[in-house]
Amino acid sequence: MTLFAEAAALDAADPLAAKRAEFDLDPAVAYFDGNSLGAPPRHVAGRVATVVREQWGGRLIRSWTDAWWDAPERVGERIAPLVGAAPGQVVVADSTSVDLFKVLVAAVRANAARSEILLDAATFPTDGYLTDQVARLTGHAVRRVPVAELPAACGEQTAVVLANHVDYVTGRLHDMSAVTRAAHSAGAAVVWDLCHSVGAIEVRLDEHDVDYAVGCTYKFLNGGPGSPAFVYVARRHQEWFDQPLAGWAGHADPFAMEAGYRAGAGISRARAGTPDVLSLLALDAALDVWADVDLALLRTKGLALGDFFLRCLDELLPGADVPTPRDHARSHQISVRVPDARRIMAALHDRGVLGDFRPPDVLRFGLAPLYTSYAEVLRAATTLAALT
């Protein structure tokens, strides 16, 4: 069977194929950057227009109590099943960077007698920047360790471990269970960055006994540019969760305007500032597409898309340098190293294949199972082969 026939057969048999119609996609473009910015679900624009017209324009200030104030918790409950969390442990608030700062400081404060923070050596840059700043503020040392070596590196001075669930450059999926168990055995807490896994693969925070997690919503969750991030705080930590950004939104009675701070109950204490209502409610609308999605089926298709991409590369571009694992220890992206990668990605864009470039030489192709087709995968591989 030719690759073209195989792509057609796989698309015809795809149980998620109907989902593509729920997204506003240009048929002339093959989109492979959902791991940076997800495509917009078609109904989101109309929902946001309704919020502007009826809530902001019609109810005005009354919408804070009618529809807006509790939205961070309500939308968090919609994300909870996507990260394997029981109710009451996820809230949508602020940005990933802000949320990461909150949970890192809280984790260090809870383990104050210990002197070091272990950090994923290949972490997304902002995680490293923030960890260094937290260490400066708290007097801790930062030790950068490859994720595979984190279990052995955890020791009696480790206060907290911060790791990315998925390596953003290669797409490698790390072993959440093993790292978390090892950290706990050493008396340390764990923070997981889920930005490149939520909405792509099944995440099981409760099952793996995770302490804290943060994640963005504008990648595979399709919440829109700058949509707010989410925080997971395991229920067992919430009573003493002592985060450093004591803003009014996390206050036990925010509209009482008290002079002193009293942390709110439960996951609400992870909030800080005033929520970005329009982005938050755009995310709320975008999450509708997940209502009937079987996450196991999503994972199966994501891996199948990657397997097909690898077969296409093997046939069309033999010997390609692919840092993404060929086994299934990966998320839903395929990365390829090529000389002059920036120019090659620009040329791919000119030909309607939208992936992204990561310095110095990596082309990333995100595979969003809700809307990526096998025919698009073949188009990407064919176009890449013609350019290299």
pLDDT at 1 over 90: no
pLDDT tens digits, 185-236: 999 999 999 999 999 999 999 999 999 999 999 999 999 999 999 999 999 9
What is the C-alpha to C-alpha distance for residues 69 and 107, in angstroms, rounded to an integer?
Answer: 27
Q: Is 102 a catalytic residue?
A: no
Q: Could you tell me the maximum CA-CA distance found in the chain, to the nearest angstrom?
A: 72
Q: Is 218 a catalytic residue?
A: yes
Domains and CATH numbers, the chain: 3-42+293-387 (3.90.1150.10), 69-290 (3.40.640.10)
Question: How distant is the alpha carbon of residue 58 from its chain centre?
Answer: 34
pLDDT tens digits, 271-321: 999 999 999 999 999 999 999 999 999 999 999 999 999 999 999 999 999
Identified catalytic residue from 14, 193, 211, 356: 193
Identified catalytic residue from 218, 309, 365, 371: 218
pTM value?
Answer: 0.96
Of 377, 222, 387, 383, the C-alpha closest to 306 is 377
What is the C-alpha to C-alpha distance for residues 351 and 365, in angstroms, rounded to an integer?
Answer: 15
- Rg of the chain over all Cα atoms, to the nearest angstrom: 22
What is the C-alpha to C-alpha distance for residues 84 and 204, in angstroms, rounded to an integer?
Answer: 4
Q: Is 124 a catalytic residue?
A: yes
Token pair belonging to 383? 């176009």
What is the C-alpha to C-alpha distance for residues 296 and 293, in angstroms, rounded to an integer?
Answer: 9
Identified catalytic residue from 102, 219, 271, 379: 219
pLDDT tens digits, 77-127: 999 999 999 999 999 999 999 999 999 999 999 999 999 999 999 999 999
Contact 336, 321 (CB under 8 A): yes
3-state secondary structure of 104: helix
Residue type, 143: R
